[in-house]
Structure 1
Amino acid sequence: MNLSDKKTYDMTPFDILLKVHSILINIDNVRERAEEMITAIQDVCWLNELNPIAKHSYEARAQRTIDKLVNDILKKVEDDVTEEFGEFMISASAQDALVEAFDHVKVPLAELLKEKISGNPGFDFHTETSESLIAFGEAKYSGSNNPYRNALEQIKEFIDLKKHNAEVVDLQHFVTPDADIIKFKVEVHISRHSL
């Protein structure tokens, strides 16, 4: 994975700070990216920083999901990007891009923190910004059409349902004590064509 372009657009309307960051990511070798993701997902060192109760709980949640992601999705990747793999690839790549381009700090993928083995019912990934804000990310992949509208509609629905507020109880374990759990950023990461 490499970042080939990064732009920031200041779109501040009505004295509300609004910036849009555009990052173009190139993934030249899909199989290699899947292998990188396997290594990252299986690295559960983030559990070591938790108190014993949280560690016990997240370890149980994460292991089932790790097994499914690695054995049922990532190890089966050859050259094609399926919709299921595409969503995970976009989430992981978006986190990596935010770390590289904007000095964010990764939070374990939402899929690893939820009780459900697969099909997370909220935002797909999170990071902590250099300004100590929690960034909530939604990833969409489509090999044939433009998923921007779907992503934006889902984000609006998540915000209306206050899913970002519901997720902070889990996120508090993975961000710094200075992280502002009230203010947040929403990240949208979309791939609309085959790689």
Structure 2
Amino acid sequence: MKIIEHKILTQFSPAIVQFIRIDPEDISKTLLEILKDLMDLSWLSKFDQEFEQKAFRSRANKTIDDIKEKFDKCVNDDISKDAGEYVVSELARETMVSKLKYLDVPLAELLGKKRSGNPGFDFHSQNEITDTVIFGEAKYIADRTAYGSALKQILDFIDSAKDIEDLPELNTFCSRTALERVSDGKKGFSAAFSAKNTSTEKIINNITKRGEFQSLLQYEELILVAVNL
């Protein structure tokens, strides 16, 4: 993948608002790289107890098998909805780690039990300078830019306290201070979405006019990640 744009939208201070645009480049190669990263289970060493490592390894392996099956169905760069959302999630998560130097937390579905429907946020990280946990939601829509769906889903999840429900799984990775700040309402969010040929300027203008975006400015941080899919 290639990060082609990174903008800090200072006009929305005190909230930290950033816009990042990613080009996955060669889709087939990107899918293989994502699978390779997901199969690296070195993060299991963070769990002290052997029974915890075994439990999370079992969860992670089932998820990896499911993702691999979805990726195998992608032919000639034709990305399905399920595969597309994994690509958007993982590229956004990797970008926060590599570009922003935020905490490396495994993709949410590797940590949680596989459930039907949409159980919670797709990815997480932490700004270690400000002790702010980032809750990320990814959306892929084949025929249009998907920021509207991502922003709406974030607000729906906040209303149903999905961020609070995610805290037990994050306890091993995020700092105690950051987790306590979440329960006090001090947290951040990332909306990651597929973007077609729409210009960055138009995407930012459209997003910042939306009521969902304005509602999220009450929080510490908002990271917008457009993935060219």
1:172 aligns with 2:171: yes
2:205 is the alignment partner of 1:192: no
Deviation at 1:159, TM superposition (A): 0.6
CA contact (8 A) 2:111 2:169 kept: yes
Distance 1:11 1:42, change over 3 A: same
Q: Which amino acid counterpart does residue 165 of structure 1 have in structure 2?
A: I
1:3 maps to 3
Q: Percent identity?
A: 31
The aligned counterpart of 2:100 is 102
Once the two structures are TM-superposed, the CA of residue 83 in structure 1 deviates from its matched residue by: 1.1
Deviations 1:91-149 (A, max 9, x none): 11001111222111221101111111665510000012132321100001112123222
Instruction: Return the structure number with greater relative CO, CA threshold 8 A, min gap 6.
Output: 2
Aligned residues: 191
User: For residues 40-189 of structure 1, what are the structure 2 equivalents within 5 Å?
Assistant: 40-52=37-49, 53-70=51-68, 72-78=69-75, 79-116=77-114, 120-131=118-129, 132-181=131-180, 182=182, 183-189=186-192
**Could you report, residue by residue, the CA deviation over 1:72-97 in whole angstroms, capped at 9, with x for unpaired residues?**
12233332222111100001100111
SS at 1:179 equivalent:
helix
1:41 alignment partner AA: L
Q: CA deviation at 1:177?
A: 4.4
**Post-superposition offset of 1:61:** 1.3
Q: Which amino acid aligns with 1:21?
A: Q
SS at match of 2:139: strand
Most deviating of 110-119 and 59-68: 110-119
Change (3 A) 1:68 1:118: farther
| More moved, 185-194 vs 110-119 | 110-119
- List gaps (5 residues or longer) in structure 1: none
Q: Secondary structure at the match of 1:107?
A: coil
**Aligned amino acid, residue 91 of structure 1:** S
The 8 Å contact of residues 124 and 139 in structure 1, kept in 2 or not, is answered as yes
TM-score by length of 2: 0.77
Distance 1:119 1:66, change over 3 A: farther
SS of equivalent to 1:105: coil
Counterpart residue identity of residue 194, structure 2: S
| TM-score, normalisation: structure 1 | 0.89
Letter in 2 for 1:152: L
Quote the offset at 1:20 in angstroms.
Answer: 1.9
Q: Counterpart of 1:46 in structure 2: which amino acid?
A: W
